[in-house]
Structure 1
Amino acid sequence: MKRISNGLEEISHDQTGTLFRLFQLYYYENSDWMAEEIGDDGLFDACAVSIADYVTSPSKRAYWIRKDGALAGFVVTEPVSLPDGREVDELADLFIMKRYRRQGVALAAVRELASRFERPWLVAVFRNDTRAAAFWHKAFQELDLASVRPYTDPELEQFRLYAMNDRQLAQDT
């Protein structure tokens, strides 16, 4: 596998264990608003098979985020259906380790990933996650997007939902 110094690197099948371990850090950081409890084994209830599915499924994607060659975090995407039945891509989870925050690493990764999306895409931000909300507010201003529209889904009230480059949703809201 080709190593890159900065940016996205697709996660390989033999790295799913590493992705699972970083998801544990991600769950820890989000435990305040995700209401996740740690198990007696010291792990959050993150399903290893479901996490590996980001790497093995042909419709999902998982990337390492690197800074100066070092592993700085990860981002995963998956297809989701909008309430009207249309399928779009969701930037499902984005995690940057504390050491690499506030250096533009996440924004650079999102910019690179957004250029790869061939259809509208979504971001869901936990309502109580003020740090993520601030990041996305800034990102929406700095990314070259045709549109950014908030929308609501009654089944996902715990999230602020945003659709990017979705002209149809923009007309419906």
Structure 2
Amino acid sequence: MSVILKEVLEIEKTILRNLYSLYLHDLSKFTSMIDIGVDGSFEYESLDKFWDIDGLSPYFIILDGSIIGFILLLERPFLTKENDLGINDFFILNKYKGKGLAAKAAVKLFEEKQGHYFVMQVIENKRAVSFWKKLYQELNIEINERQELIDDEQCLIQTFKI
């Protein structure tokens, strides 16, 4: 099974918007900051800015020609501090979870984009925390980790160099 990353084009915005709604639905279990909209969807208000602001880089995760998720990568010039890259959002459809595909997507990203990274998870999202810790161990990535309160949510932040 071959996993590739493909930069999301602005004409593919609707597909990404639909995937973001699913992602935010999943995250709503772990945070009080995410609620369903009056239209019955979970909306990411800043999605339209992805194509207007340099350094906001959405990628589809594609398996054998089908979109199975996405990554929102933060890059320079959007990032201005010590990190070159940040994985802001990372989503795999439930059907594909637990098959090693998210790890393959992360490895593909690390191969294509090298530098100082940060990754953040809401501590209550134990599956995400476990995924990242396992990935760091499997890839022998040395991390610095700290806890921080962000938007009233306790988060883990890992920084590392690829």
Tell me, yes or no, if the aligned pair for 2:82 and 2:116 is still in contact at 8 Å. Answer: no
C-alpha separation in 1, matches of 2:149 and 2:128? 21
1:88 aligns with 2:84: yes
1:122 aligns with 2:111: no
C-alpha separation in 2, matches of 1:57 and 1:144? 33
Between Structure 1 and Structure 2, which shows a larger proportion of helix residues?
A: 1
C-alpha separation in 2, matches of 1:108 and 1:155? 28
Number of residue pairs the alignment of both structures matches: 156
Unpaired runs of 5+ in structure 2?
A: none
Aligned CA-pair RMSD: 2.0
Deviation at 1:59, TM superposition (A): 1.2
- Give the number of the structure whose alpha-carbon radius of gyration is greater: 1
Tell me, yes or no, if the aligned pair for 1:20 and 1:52 is still in contact at 8 Å. Answer: no
| Aligned with residue 71 of structure 2, among 63, 70, 75 | 75
Write out per-residue CA displacement over residues 5-42 of structure 1, whole angstroms, 9 at most, x where no aligned residue.
Answer: 52211111101111111100000011011221112211
| Percentage of pairs with the same residue | 25
Between Structure 1 and Structure 2, which shows a larger proportion of strand residues?
A: 2
TM-score normalised to structure 2 length: 0.86
1:150 aligns with 2:145: yes
TM-score normalised to structure 1 length: 0.81
Unpaired runs of 5+ in structure 1?
A: 167-173
CA separation of 1:14/1:45 partners in 2, compared to 1, >3 Å: closer, same or farther?
closer
CA separation of 1:58/1:74 partners in 2, compared to 1, >3 Å: closer, same or farther?
same
